[in-house]
Structure 1
Amino acid sequence: MQVNMHEAKSQLSKLGEKAWEGETVVIAKAGKPYLDLVPHRENITPRKPGRLKGQIMFAENFDKTPLDVIAGFEGKL
């Protein structure tokens, strides 16, 4: 469902119910999609920083960029 900004202002409660029920609600501005109306969902599992520690490995030369790649980004090739 796509509605314009003016319609969304006057029907926000109705549109909120539709979004909560799972319907995709897009709010348009000047006829182009501008916002998606989505229901708020509580984060059930709290984020745990570092939970993948020791599971992600980087190559020894991860931070060493080859000179030809650098030259390509700088437009020297």
Structure 2
Amino acid sequence: MVRMVNIHDAKTNLSRLVDQAVKGEPFIIAKAGKPLVKVVPIDQPAAVKRLGFMSGAFTVPNDFDRMGQAEIEAMFGLDP
């Protein structure tokens, strides 16, 4: 059930009430016992995924996964 708050209490405690609404606890503001407005959180927009935004800006060499392999193996005492 949604909590009802009178307008005077809503003015006095607005920051706290808004924080609670953002966390999923909506409330109704009433005047003389009559509901006026319902405060609910705004849905957050989905994160924009920008896949491929740098497509063609650079190239990755075919041997990328082996670059520096001999040096790395030497550092660990492995035979190249």
TM-score by length of 1: 0.51
Over the matched positions of the two proteins, sequence identity in percent amounts to: 45
**1:20 aligned residue:** 22
* Number of equivalences: 45
Cα distance, 1:40 vs. partner? 2.5
Q: Which runs of 5+ in 1 are unaligned?
A: 45-77
Q: Which runs of 5+ in 2 are unaligned?
A: 47-80
**2:36 aligned residue:** 34
Distance 2:18 2:36 in 1: 16
**1:6 aligned residue:** 8
CA RMSD between the two structures: 1.7
Which has more radius of gyration?
2
Distance 2:15 2:28 in 1: 14
TM-score by length of 2: 0.49
